Structure 1
Amino acid sequence: MSRYRFPDGFIWGAATSAYQIEGSPLADGAGPSIWQRFAHTPGMMANGDHGDTACDHYRRYKEDVQLMRALGLHSYRFSVAWARVLPEGTGRVNQKGLDFYSRLVDELLQHGIQPNVTLFHWDLPAALDDRGGWLNRDSAHWFADYASVVFKALDGRVQRWSTINEPWVVTDGGYLHGVLAPGHRSKYEAPIAAHNLMRASGAGIQAYRAVGRHEIGVVFNIEPKYPASQRPDDEAAAQRAHAYMNEQFADPALLGSYPPALKDIFGDAWPDFPADDFQLTRQPVDFVGINYYTRSVVKHDEQGYPCRASRVRQHHATHTETGWEVYEQGLADTLMWFKHRYGDLPLYVTENGAAFYDPPVAEGEVVEDPLRVAYLRKHLRTLHQCIEDGINLKGYYAWSLLDNLEWSLGFAKRFGLYHVDYASLTRTPKASAKFYAKVIETNGTALA
């Protein structure tokens, strides 16, 4: 038996999100989202890019399912655009929007690919943002009502659900630093938005228990923090950064509390949340999704906002186009930390991948991307070792199926297994797609 063979039943997948690939954001009665609004606000997006066309997946989904079939995917993780289903965020259901996801699910199942549905991947309906968005405590109930509509339509065919994807990014980028939708910059707003996101996740899980028959969980992006030196102030900075990025969201969901360091980080901006809220945030989950891309080495920095810490670039390392260090050991450290802190929950790596330079126009039948192939090989070998070390890991989803809109970075950063020519929308496999297909076909033995 090959040294890299994964357990029988291990799920191999790939992931995307709605606003990044679908295009046609207002088609068939859909309402605008905060990302539709943000992308059309001058100066917010690199190169003036937006998601009006993106990868045109809304119209080309059957073609894209064929790409998944060529990879041999067991599962496809995608998100539902809330405003397609509920144009005003609450109330009236837009059946045409819901029907798109129903057709996509049917197409996946027809080709033996299990849908893995994320309910919220950052694209809050603009109508709800006008009512305060995640700063409004009612947002938890808005989310549960929306989730119930989607559950009732799709749960008979969808066996795996996630509530919220990467709540840290929503709050850090959208409410603290203003670089992501909705573009706010407030130390006072960020913890409120974060808390309401976790209340919404809990409310969504409650809603699922009322009508659902399969599995539901939540997805966190975890970035391990390592001190730049053994100096006490650097070690304390790493602990603060870790509490802020990682424990701030997993703790209320899985432990029913917040780490004490957050009061130190936010100072007078940290609210006293009602104790009853944690009965809502801490709902039993069937699994947790972990999105892992890189690590941070940090030092104490009084000007480092908000944690009094700043990242120290590792000059000896390979870095991706987004400036992220390639550090596969961080994935192992993340999964082991998660097990030790939160128990032996079933885990999925729900996103993992890298942006490296690919030409705008594909030349030939395959785009060569050796750095991405190396990235995948290193991280998948690490995951195999994690399983041998006792991590309860059930599956892996590469980010991303397609080159797509990398949020406010626009189309300049390519993460896809398939190259997208944004002028013609032609899809071309990269060498990483061929490599990943072989890994799937051999259940990991091709990693040798």
Structure 2
Amino acid sequence: MKDSLFNNLKKSDFGDNFIWGTSTAAFQIEGSPYDDGKKASIWDEFSHKKGKIHKGQNADIACDFYNRYKEDLLLMKSMNITNFRFSLSWSRILPDGTGSINNAGLDFYDRLIDECLQLGITPWVTLYHWDLPQSLENKGGWTNREIVNWFSEYVKICVHRFGDRVKNWMVLNEPLVFLGAGHFLGIHAPGRRGVKNFIPAMHHASLCQAEGGRILRAYDPTLNIGTTFSCSYIEPYRDLEKDHKATKKVDCLVNRLFLELSLGYGYPFKELPFLKRVDKFYKAEDDRLLQFEFDFIGIQNYTREIVKSAWWIPYVQSINIKAEKRNIPTTEMGWEIYPEGLSKLLMKYNEYPGVKNILITENGAAFPDQLINGQVKDEKRKQYLQQYIEATLRAKKQGANVNGYFAWSFTDNFEWAEGYHPRFGLVYIDFDSQQRIIKNSGLWYRDFLRSQANN
């Protein structure tokens, strides 16, 4: 990359208060789906349906984090990682989603949080990372407005149990992804399809996003409260008015919708008229209930999208021109490697008056990893991380209020519909033996973080 900084990149360039960490999600790492009182989530059910997951794989064992968390946290500490973002499994705490509490589930997260703190690792908790209790899905799940009450009950239990030790909270993980893939396209759990499912689920998730924030704030006004959004830098395929118009539609849906609802902008009916169907599910008080003033937003960026006008595509009238057709470097997911997109997104979000602080709560890449003679020489991932961290620094120097970076992910894990094929981890896992091996990218991250190991 021209004028690349990463050969001399130093953590001190970001300042003493910049937060460095790594991210995971409960369903992707824990395993033990029915141990100690836990019941099925929508992903437990979905991953056992024929044809839904790569090679028929499931997350029944995954990384066995439920049993190996102490080992993994010690490994994390050895890598100088002092901030750990993980999620709580709703159905481990409330097996039926509401009602009876599973004390064994609460005890597990007590042990996990306490172990983090004992090792000098700060816990960053995500309340919902896609694993809705199946019992609630049977009642309509996100399409049922009652989920606002169910979610509120869950959040209250979590913050009252863990809020004395956990000071950093995220309400939802990537609402557009779990709603779009799971309630419109049907390729993720629970496998619902069509706009008839997407619209109510979108509205109720947005209400939960704000209500979760209010519950956390009411418990302790000093908590650091955020929520996270998937985002991609969107650009037109051609310098044509129709492609620019298509770009605005996609950008509105992908990058703006859920943030702007929390900020009080309302639904972007002008850019996305199909959202007017939400009127059926809207109540008078929802203007207020959709809003919450978050302390930070987490942005999760992996790539950019190039879009072209396509009048025949419903709702957004556009298609994404895949990176492979543009003959450019990609990750194993087929995603374009475009670090400058992260810089541009940071500057874009920095312009919102209501955004107080920005953290990059996920960024990483999957590449074909090979374990040879006890080593994983993943130079492409190492370079990817370097370039995206450099892009973060560029934006910070240009004035973006970005103050944290969490690499996705700590270990290889169960990557949803793709199963175990894509490896995103800084740490390699042999899923047969459960052996952990720090990859070269993880060793680089360890050395990069060394100067702040005691912060």
Same fold (TM over 0.5): yes
Residue number in structure 1 paired with 2:260: 251
Q: How does 1:318-397 map to 2 (within 5 A)?
A: 318-359=329-370, 362-397=371-406
Q: Distance in 2 between matches of 1:342 and 1:11?
A: 22
1:47, distance to aligned residue in structure 2 (A): 0.5
Paired residue total: 442
Code of the residue aligned with 1:298 in structure 2: it is V
Q: Distance in 1 between matches of 2:79 and 2:318?
A: 41
Q: How does 1:291-310 map to 2 (within 5 A)?
A: 291-310=300-319
1:148, distance to aligned residue in structure 2 (A): 0.7
Residue number in structure 1 paired with 2:60: 52
Q: Distance in 2 between matches of 1:367 and 1:271?
A: 53
Q: How does 1:128-277 map to 2 (within 5 A)?
A: 128-212=136-220, 213-261=222-270, 263-266=272-275, 271=280, 273-277=282-286
The percent identity for this pair of structures is: 37
Q: Distance in 2 between matches of 1:299 and 1:305?
A: 14
Among 40, 61, 64, the alignment partner of 2:69 is: 61
Code of the residue aligned with 1:352 in structure 2: it is N
Contact conserved, 2:203 with 2:278, CA < 8 A, in 1? no
TM-score, with structure 2 as normaliser:
0.94
Code of the residue aligned with 2:450 in structure 1: it is E
Residue by residue, what CA displacement relative to the aligned partner does 1:21-58 show, whole Å, maximum 9, x if unpaired? 00001110011100001001111111111110000000
Is 1:15 aligned to residue 2 of structure 2? no
1:4, distance to aligned residue in structure 2 (A): 6.6
Residue number in structure 1 paired with 2:119: 111
1:257, distance to aligned residue in structure 2 (A): 0.6
Code of the residue aligned with 1:198 in structure 2: it is S
**What secondary structure sits across from 1:206 in the alignment?**
helix
Q: Distance in 2 between matches of 1:20 and 1:68?
A: 17
**What secondary structure sits across from 2:13 in the alignment?**
coil
- Gapped runs of 5+ residues in structure 1? none
Code of the residue aligned with 2:413 in structure 1: it is N
Contact conserved, 1:294 with 1:325, CA < 8 A, in 2? yes
- Give the aligned CA root-mean-square deviation in angstroms: 1.8
Code of the residue aligned with 1:143 in structure 2: it is F
**What secondary structure sits across from 1:5 in the alignment?**
helix
TM-score, with structure 1 as normaliser:
0.95
Judge which range, 107-116 or 208-217, deviates more. 208-217
**What secondary structure sits across from 1:395 in the alignment?**
strand
Among 421, 427, 433, the alignment partner of 1:418 is: 427
Q: Distance in 1 between matches of 2:21 and 2:90?
A: 23
Contact conserved, 1:188 with 1:270, CA < 8 A, in 2? no
Contact conserved, 1:76 with 1:113, CA < 8 A, in 2? yes
Contact conserved, 1:23 with 1:53, CA < 8 A, in 2? yes
Q: Distance in 2 between matches of 1:4 and 1:108?
A: 24
Structure 1 352/2 Cα, relative in aligned 2: closer, same or farther at 3 Å? closer
Is 1:290 aligned to residue 304 of structure 2? no
1:180, distance to aligned residue in structure 2 (A): 0.2
Q: Distance in 2 between matches of 1:436 and 1:278?
A: 43
Q: How does 1:83-98 map to 2 (within 5 A)?
A: 83-98=91-106
Residue number in structure 1 paired with 2:78: 70
Contact conserved, 2:143 with 2:200, CA < 8 A, in 1? yes
Residue by residue, what CA displacement relative to the aligned partner does 1:180-204 show, whole Å, maximum 9, x if unpaired? 0000111122121111111011111
Structure 1 268/287 Cα, relative in aligned 2: closer, same or farther at 3 Å? closer
Structure 1 285/267 Cα, relative in aligned 2: closer, same or farther at 3 Å? closer
Judge which range, 266-275 or 321-330, deviates more. 266-275
Q: Distance in 2 between matches of 1:195 and 1:268?
A: 10
1:317, distance to aligned residue in structure 2 (A): 2.1
- Gapped runs of 5+ residues in structure 2? 1-8
1:175, distance to aligned residue in structure 2 (A): 0.6
**What secondary structure sits across from 2:14 in the alignment?**
coil
Q: Distance in 1 between matches of 2:248 and 2:274?
A: 11
Q: Distance in 1 between matches of 2:281 and 2:149?
A: 21
Contact conserved, 1:356 with 1:371, CA < 8 A, in 2? yes
Contact conserved, 1:173 with 1:180, CA < 8 A, in 2? yes
Q: Distance in 2 between matches of 1:43 and 1:133?
A: 23
Structure 1 25/434 Cα, relative in aligned 2: closer, same or farther at 3 Å? same
**What secondary structure sits across from 1:20 in the alignment?**
helix
- Post-superposition, which runs of at least 4 consecutive aligned residues in structure 1 deviate over 4 A? 1-4, 265-272
Q: How does 1:431-446 map to 2 (within 5 A)?
A: 431-442=440-451
Q: Distance in 2 between matches of 1:2 and 1:137?
A: 48
**What secondary structure sits across from 2:76 in the alignment?**
helix
Code of the residue aligned with 2:205 in structure 1: it is L
